[in-house]
Amino acid sequence: MDFNIYITRVNAKLDQYLSAQGSLAKAMRYSTLTSGKRFRPILTYCVANIFSTNLNLVDSSSCAVEFIHAYSLIHDDLPVMDDDDMRHNQPSCHKRFGEAQAILAGDGLQALAFEVLVNDDLISADIKIELLKFLTRASFEMAEGQAIDLSIIAKQVDIATLESMHRKKTGALLSCAVNLGAIISKKCNNEDRIILDVFSKDIGLAYQIQDDVFDIEVPDALLGKNQYSDECKNKPTYPSLLGLDKSKLTYKNLYKKASDELDLLSVDATELQQLTVNLQARLF
Amino acid sequence: MDFNIYITRVNAKLDQYLSAQGSLAKAMRYSTLTSGKRFRPILTYCVANIFSTNLNLVDSSSCAVEFIHAYSLIHDDLPVMDDDDMRHNQPSCHKRFGEAQAILAGDGLQALAFEVLVNDDLISADIKIELLKFLTRASFEMAEGQAIDLSIIAKQVDIATLESMHRKKTGALLSCAVNLGAIISKKCNNEDRIILDVFSKDIGLAYQIQDDVFDIEVPDALLGKNQYSDECKNKPTYPSLLGLDKSKLTYKNLYKKASDELDLLSVDATELQQLTVNLQARLF
């Protein structure tokens, strides 16, 4: 199974959407088009594909989640936030364009995310509104999650607080990526939607716990950003609360649970199973 | 004619929308609910009202434009942008909550603006999409306008560049406020829409030129922010390019033109005429 077709596809569409955006285009293109793993758009395409949905209908949703993701990285990297100088093995947006342009590029990308969905002529207004309900909520929760993240630096928090923060900061958009793929798929019935929603929340949390582990175990060059950055910032993480071994076990169990859920779908979910395996097997 | 009923109305709705927004609520409420002239929501209500539109249908649009406006002020005031410590006669958001929370409160407000429109059950999906087309574009152009504004500091620019910047930075959202009122009004026909669109662009530009004049002529206490702030920052303004007298003449002519356009509408526009008079007669 080759998920690169989705990467190629979304990159071409992102490029197209970003081609005519005036004075902010340079900074937006720099942060959006230069690499990035594209997990979120791949998820959206993949969910839609297992329901045999025409991928032309999925492009705007895939790009919209990636635009929100790109905007969040730009703002999170700012000196007053996580203060990260490197992203995707290149200077982060504010290091390259200055903080003001970076903030505005992020602001522009958020608006653009909603705009590409709103203007997709292939989708009915009813479906667009359903997609936008998820995307607006996810985008809001992501900002909220980042606010909680910053507020708990150097604080003793329990695992429930950490989980709630991550479910907003990272989980909400990953879950949204899956849900958009489900909403856009005519053949996806209500039971399927519920299964996929649970699946999306499980991989969202698993993904974040795994990220916390990688922050300790994976060197800079592979991460594309600085290793130990959470630890240096005195951020509570799963390993800091649960220990490394239990953190690994937790995310592996979540991926297993997510994978089991896919067996309940009304369609063959082999492709999504494979993606879940790939997610777990990622090295960074 | 008492436009305060609109102010009271939008304040109550903004409060309601902001009442259950978790960890970002405090900063968002601080910047959104404490004063503000509410010109944009008043415009939206007023346009809808001259077409006898039920104002219950207008609340979400009015709040949406105000949320975008509030978000833009928070981000514009940041030290790396316009570096304004005061806003509406109180410390600006970042002075009160810190820069990180201010950026996130702005981010959250932008998402919320789209969300309130998306979730308004009184409006059909088709109309919502039409409203969102305007709002997403206006929000994007506003960020672009601010980027241009920062890029021309201490530079020699011509009047066309200055005008193009202002049409994006301030004009786009003011124009959007008028257009949303028109879209939501069943009795507003296509000719009316075109007239209102031209009207909105004229008052948008007039408003900004007037602001430039106020920056020179109105003391801090009335402005609610620092006088001469544009001049101190070495920003090109209409008075710096045209001189004070010609700037005044320009905005007065634009208001006059806008007012004349309203005479062409298919309905009695007395209320909107009065609002235009009030806009021009404002002291700050």
- Tens digit of pLDDT for each residue in A50-74? 999 999 999 999 999 999 999 999 9
- Model pTM? 0.94
CB contact under 8 A, B104 and A143: yes
Task: Write down how long chain A is.
Answer: 284
Residues in A touching B129 (Cβ below 8 Å):
118, 125, 128-129
Name the pLDDT band for B91 (thresholds 50, 70, 90): very high
CA distance B145 to chain A (A): 8
> B98-123, pLDDT tens digit by residue?
999 999 999 999 999 999 999 999 99
pLDDT in tens, B181-192: 999 999 999 999
Residues in chain A closer than 8 A to B78 (CB atoms): 100, 103
Whole-number pLDDT of residue B185: 98
Backbone angles phi, psi at B181, to 5 degrees: -60, -35
pLDDT at residue B230, rounded to an integer: 67
Per-residue pLDDT reduced to its tens digit, A139-196: 999 999 999 988 887 788 899 999 999 999 999 999 999 999 999 999 999 999 999 9
Q: What pLDDT is attached to residue A221?
A: 57
pLDDT (0 to 100) of residue A153? 79
Nearest-CB residue to B103 (from A78, A124, A136): A78
Confidence (pLDDT) at B195: 98
Cα B8–Cα B10–Cα B14 angle in degrees, nearest 5: 120
Q: Which of A9-13, B129-133, B154-158 has the lowest mean pLDDT?
A: B154-158
The whole-number pLDDT of residue A62 equals 97
Q: Given this model, what pLDDT does residue A282 score?
A: 83
Please list every residue in chain B whose beta carbon sits closer than 8 Å to the beta carbon of residue A103. 75, 78, 80-81, 103
Which residues does chain A have with pLDDT short of 70? 21, 218-233, 284
Q: Do B24 and A143 touch (CB under 8 A)?
A: yes
Helix (H) or strand (E) holding B52, with range, is none
Nearest CA in chain A to B142: A108
**What element of type H or E holds B91?**
strand B90-91
> What is the average pLDDT value for chain B, to the nearest integer?
92
Of A115, A111, A108, A114, the closest CA to residue A93 belongs to A108
Q: Does domain A4-268 bear CATH number 1.10.600.10?
A: yes
What residues contact residue B187 under an 8 Å CB cut-off, 6+ apart? B51, B52, B53, B267
- Asked if residue A128 lies in contact with residue B127, where contact means CB atoms within 8 angstroms, the answer is no
- The predicted structure's pLDDT at residue A277: 94
Helix (H) or strand (E) holding B218: none
- CA of B166 to nearest chain A CA: how many angstroms apart? 14
Which pLDDT does position B221 carry in this prediction?
Answer: 57
**Closest Cβ–Cβ partner in B78, B125, B139 for A125:** B125
CA–CA gap between residue A197 and residue A178 (Å, rounded): 7
Identify whether the C-beta of residue A227 lies closer than 8 Å to the C-beta of residue A189.
Answer: no
B159 within 8 A of B241, measured Cβ to Cβ: yes
First-to-final CA distance of chain B? 20
pLDDT exceeds 70 at position B33: yes
* Assigned CATH topology for domain B4-279: Farnesyl Diphosphate Synthase (1.10.600)
Give the pLDDT confidence score for residue A195 in this predicted structure.
Answer: 98
Residue of A nearest to B71 (CA): A107
Residues in chain B: 284
Lookup: tokens for B183: 């879209």
Q: Is the pLDDT of residue B60 over 90?
A: yes
CA distances from A15 to A8, A9, A18, A50, A188 (A): 11, 10, 5, 26, 29
User: Nearest Cα to B174, choosing from B148, B150, B207?
Assistant: B207
Contact B111 A151 (CB under 8 A): no
pLDDT at residue number A101: 95
Chain A residues in contact with chain B using a Cβ-Cβ cutoff of 8 Å: 21-24, 75, 78, 80-81, 98-101, 103-104, 106-108, 110-112, 114-115, 118-119, 124-126, 128-129, 132-133, 136-137, 139-140, 143-144, 146-148, 150-151
- Which among B108, B129, B150 is the nearest to A144, CB-wise? B108
**Chain A residue at shortest CA distance from B119:** A133
| pLDDT value at residue A71 | 97
Long-range contact set of residues A22-26: C-beta below 8 Å, sequence gap at least 24: A22/B144, A23/B144, A23/B147, A23/B148, A23/B151, A24/A101, A24/A104, A24/A105, A24/A108, A24/B143, A24/B144, A24/B147, A26/A97
Which residue, among A144, A151, A157, would best test binding to B if mutated, counting the most B CBs under 10 Å from its CB? A144
pLDDT computed for residue B225 by the predictor: 63
pLDDT for A53 equals 98
Q: How many CB atoms lie within 10 A of CB B161?
A: 15
Chain A: residue nearest B121 by CA? A129
Region of residue A228 (phi > 0: left; psi between -120 and 50: alpha; otherwise: beta):
left
Tell me which amino acid residue A20 is: A
| Cα–Cα distance, A55 to A266 (Å, whole number) | 20
Kindly list the domain boundaries of chain B, sorted by start residue.
4-279
Token pair recorded at residue B47:
């346009």
What is the DSSP-derived secondary structure letter of residue B266? S
ipTM of the complex: 0.94
How does A1-16 read in b/e, with b if 16+ C-beta sit within 10 Å? eebeebbebbbebbee
pLDDT in tens, B199-227: 999 999 999 999 899 888 876 655 566 66
Backbone angles phi, psi at A90, to 5 degrees: -145, 160
For helices A125-151 and A172-183, the axis angle rounded to 10 degrees is 170
Q: Flag whether pLDDT at B280 surpasses 60.
A: yes
A–B CB contacts, 8 A cutoff, strictly below: 128
What pLDDT is attached to residue B219? 64
